[in-house]
Structure 1
Amino acid sequence: MDSRVIAKLQLLPPPGGLRRFAVANLINTVGSGLYITGGTLFFTRTVGLSVEQTALGLTVGTGVGLALMMVFGRLADRFGPKLVYVSLLVVQAAMMAVFTQVRSFSWFLVVATISGIADRGISGTVGSLIHAMSDGGNRITARAQLRTATNVGLGLGTLIAGAALLVDTPQAYTFVVAGNAVLFTAAASMLAGVHVVHHRVPRAAAVGARAPGPLRDTRYLAVTAANGLLALHASVLSFALPLWVADHTAAPKWSIAMVMIVNTVIVVLLQVRVSRRASAVPQAARMARLTGVVLAAACLTLAATESLGPVLCIAVLLLWTVIYTAGELWQTSAEFCFGFELASDDAQGAYQSVFALGPGVMRALAPTLLATLILGNGTAGWIVLAGFFVVSGFLASTAALAANRNRHAFRRPAATPMTLPADRSVPSS
């Protein structure tokens, strides 16, 4: 894409630390695309694990990681988000390298657990790092730009991994995992020299006016839970849709890839623009409420594909993609606003890690939930899911507005900026 088009669409932050972060995130997510596409086949065809063993190890890793997310959030508040984030990238690079040497289930379980902890820690601290690297006027836009880079990276990684799938040899699958290790290392190296100011609350002020943490901030927890329910849509695209199209419709299987490509292109082109409409909590709350209605319409549209012929089914799938992606863009934009604006400024690490638990827990539960509801009940399941999204959007909107009315009660006194020794070098942009 031409650099003038990129600048006009603001797909990347302006030159500086945030742009370096976006590029590092792009590099990192190319590796994620490699791993998501070819990782499971590496474990089953190269390591020799069964599908059940692979699923168990990855589930255990994710579960332990979710349980420890807030620990890394607290560490980010204490030592600075950049130090924690970069350290976790290095751990992930090491675990991917170790994966290439694993040949038993016991060692796989150990490495998968450590990798899962690091993966969830990265997800839990990315928000606090963006908060530290940006000002109040561009945090939501910066988060949207990073999501754009994520989508581009995942797409590139998936295309590269496709070549490994065509070769279909143990060496090709090993390359996929080893390549992820190299890209994690490259992302960590790019971020290592970025200047980040870490804000620490003066001890006297902290003692004199101590505000509750996120686990005692019931309104923030309510927003976290409701947003987690609404985030189920991500698994509808990645899990339910492919199985539905393949097993319940007359559409050709290549139409699944068509849907993924169209969705990715729309998100890349419009995520930043849509996020600007969720710059404050009232606007984001309204967007969340509308999101539930739009996602419900998407569910009803997909339900209609079960009885259609191949050509008409493809046309309806394209219509579904547009409707669904609109809901996805609105949900993520509202989510960015809620996560930042309703959190305590001096405890962003703890708050952001707790907020990330909502989508994280839903992602872990979604395969079983969607398999039972949709794949087991067909059209009736989609109708129930449509109602679920309407209710979830209403709950997210209501909870966010309530938290916004009371958020000043949870704010601490202004923090004093302190630059960590490791963050002194400022890279040229």
Structure 2
Amino acid sequence: MESTKRLALAQLISSVGDGAYYVGSALYFTLIVGLSPAQVGLGLTVGWAVGSVAGVALGHVADRRGPKGTAVFLGLGTAASVTAFLFVGSAVAFVIAACVYACFQCGLGAARQALLAGLIDPAERTTFRARLQAMSNAGIAIGAALGGVALALGTREAFLTVFVLDALAFAAAALVLRKVPSVPPVPVKTGEPSVAVLRDRPYALLALLNMVMLLYMPLFSLVLPLWISTRTAAPGWLVSAMLVLNTASVVVFQVRVARGVTGLRSASRYARYAGLLLFFSCLIFSFSAMSSSAWTAALVLLAGAALQVVGEMAQAAGSWEIGFGLAPEGKQGQYQGLFGAGTAVARMLGPVLLTGLILMGGALGWVVLGGLFLLAGTLTTPAVRWAERTRSLRRELEDGGAAAHAEELDREVVVGQLAARP
């Protein structure tokens, strides 16, 4: 019980720092440092691309060295990398700092998930992960409010305070993780590939489908604000109302939604539900441009946002069960590193893909995006079955190999006994 409280506290503390960083970082680099939006976008794209690859390697380190010590080290490294942003003065320095930050962040996520898998009973992992998600959203909301103060002040010192807050939050979270029990490292077996997840095609497919589903992430931060301001008659403040609705819903209902996921079959069903809900939410968002009434457009957008957040919670619950349930024990770090790369890729490609698709394609763009969600959610079920079949076959082969080895040993014993007779 004490370890779960510390894991949740560490998640809350680091999320406060993340919330402040998300709100103020882009404006700091453009208004204070003097980088162009294109340079900031390029730096973040390169950073998350590098981080998504590094997350798998650092997750493997967590498996071999122990997830607790690795998570503490990567948490402190994240704090240091955030501090490095304070000294960025050029585009090149920003790209380098963004790469280091993304590597530590992705690796930290994989190590934390491996630590969770080692400390929490498998039957409780999805529900506990839902609690962490609720804590994360609450922390981000608190941090965003603090970051909003920096935006209101608009001074260099106010923005720098945001980065210092983020760094201190990650350092404090790392110190909290030091108090949780250790999970023993698992050595590589003889003849086993060092990074086995790269050969697990069913799991790689599921990670890809999860990445497609995570394309909803840039909707509230970028796509919907631009859509509302350029294509609808709805008031601009509606973006804040939709974000509050999303955050509050996750904080209040995510754990309840996750309780319905009790295994891979129910997780697959939730993925299908999520794809369907996200598809209809996209259709409703497209309808918001068809009314000249501000109130009508606002009601349509709020209805779409309500469906979207239910789909988001269903997708999250299903993906946690799939990500944990199909990862072999002793390899949770590298497997969570690959599965978690979907978040980095969504942050990297989502803004570019979705702004072009929605703002240029209009209503048709929303339909295409919804179709992607629907397709990914539908394909998750056969992909999970494929993964289950491969694991069942692997167990049969391993059991057969063990039985054959035992028979060989028995034969050697018998031969030895016969040879020893006078």
Please confirm whether the aligned pair reaches a TM-score higher than 0.5, indicating the same fold.
yes
Q: Is the 8 A contact 2:150 2:158 kept in 1?
A: yes
Q: Name the CA distance, whole Å, in 1 between partners of 2:147 and 2:281.
A: 30
Residues 65 and 185 in structure 2, CA contact (< 8 A), matched pair in contact too: no
Matching residue of 2:307: 323
Pairing 1:344–2:324 present: no
In structure 1, the partner of 2:24 is 38
Aligned to 1:402: 386
1:33-52 deviations in Å (ceiling 9; x for gaps): 11110011222222232222
Question: 2: distance between equivalents of 1:108 and 1:388?
Answer: 33
Match of 1:291 among 266, 274, 281: 274
The C-alpha deviation readout for 1:321-340, integer Å capped at 9, x for no partner, is 21111100110000000000
What does residue range 49-64 of structure 1 map to in structure 2 within 5 Å? 49-64=35-50
Question: Which residue is 1:18 aligned to?
Answer: 4
> Shift in Å at residue 191 of structure 1?
1.1
Query: Does structure 1 retain, via aligned residues, the 8 Å contact 2:62–2:185?
Result: no
Structure 2 unaligned runs (5+)? 400-422
In 1, distance between residues paired with 2:86 and 2:45?
Answer: 19
Structure 1 spans left out of the alignment, 5+ residues? 1-14, 414-429
In structure 2, the partner of 1:421 is: none
Give the Cα–Cα distance (whole angstroms) in 2 for the partners of residues 111 and 358 of structure 1.
Answer: 21
Q: Secondary structure at the match of 1:197?
A: coil
Could you tell me how far apart the structure 2 residues matched to 1:193 and 1:387 are?
45
2:337 counterpart of 1:353:
yes
Aligned to 1:253: 236
Rounded Cα–Cα distance in structure 1 between residues aligned with 2:194 and 2:64: 16
Distance 1:253 1:140, change over 3 A: same
Distance 1:247 1:270 in 2: 32
Which stretch of the first structure deviates more once superposed, 64-73 or 102-111? 102-111
User: Is residue 226 of structure 2 the alignment partner of residue 243 of structure 1?
Assistant: yes
Letter aligned with residue 31 of structure 2: R
Once residues 126 and 145 of structure 1 are traced to their aligned partners in structure 2, the CA distance between those partners, rounded to angstroms, is 14
CA distance in 1, matches of 2:237, 2:285: 17
Report the Cα distance in structure 2 between the residues aligned to 1:264 and 1:342, rounded to whole angstroms. Answer: 29
* Structure 1 letter corresponding to 2:380: A
- SS of 1:380 mapped into structure 2: helix
Letter in 2 for 1:195: P
Query: Equivalents in 2 of 1:133, 1:179: separation in Å?
Result: 29
Instruction: Confirm or deny: 8 A CA contact 2:51 2:344 kept in the other structure.
Output: no
Give the partner amino acid of 1:96. Answer: V
Aligned partners of 1:212 and 1:410 also within 8 Å: no
Amino acid at match of 2:45: T
Change (3 A) 1:96 1:359: closer
Q: In the alignment, is the contact (CA less than 8 A) between 2:63 and 2:332 conserved in 1?
A: yes
1:114 aligns with 2:97: no
Q: How far apart, CA to CA, are the structure 2 residues paired with 1:103 and 1:364?
A: 22
Per the alignment, residue 416 of structure 2 pairs with none
1:398 Cα deviation (Å)? 1.7
| Alpha-carbon shift at residue 256 of structure 1 (Å) | 0.3
Alpha-carbon separation, structure 1, partners of 2:82 and 2:273? 40
How do residues 404-419 of structure 1 correspond to structure 2 at under 5 angstroms?
404-410=388-394
Aligned to 1:12: none
- 1:366 deviates by 1.3
Deviates more, 1:287-296 or 1:29-38: 287-296
Determine if contact 1:164/1:172 at 8 Å carries over to the other structure.
Answer: yes
Name 1:219's counterpart in structure 2.
202
Code of the aligned partner of 1:50: S
Answer yes or no: is the 8 Å Cα contact 1:226–1:399 preserved in 2. Answer: no
Which residue of 1 is the match for residue 414 of structure 2? Answer: none
2-side partners of 1:362 and 1:112: how far apart? 16
- Give 3-state SS (helix, strand or coil) of 1:138's partner: helix
Question: AA paired with 1:155?
Answer: A
**1:368 equivalent in alignment to 2:352:** yes
Residues 1:377 and 2:361 aligned together: yes
Greater mean deviation of Cα atoms: 254-263 or 306-315: 306-315
- The SS at the match of 2:184 is strand
Give 1:343 shift. Answer: 0.8
Query: What is the aligned-residue identity percentage?
Result: 35
For the pair 1:128 / 2:101, whether they are aligned, the reply is no
Could you tell me which residue of structure 2 aligns to residue 423 of structure 1?
none
| Residues 97, 293 of structure 1: alpha-carbon distance in 2 compared, 3 angstrom cutoff | same
Give the distance between the partners of 1:405 and 1:109, measured in 2 at CA: 43
In 1, Cα distance between the equivalents of 2:379 and 2:47? 30
Give, in whole Å, the separation in 2 of the partners of 1:133 and 1:46: 43
- Structure 1 residue 290: Cα displacement: 1.6
**Hey, what does 1:303 align to over in structure 2?**
286
Q: Does 1:47 align with 2:30?
A: no
Q: Distance in 1 between matches of 2:393 and 2:67?
A: 25
Does the aligned pair in 1 maintain the 2:220–2:239 contact within 8 Å? Answer: no
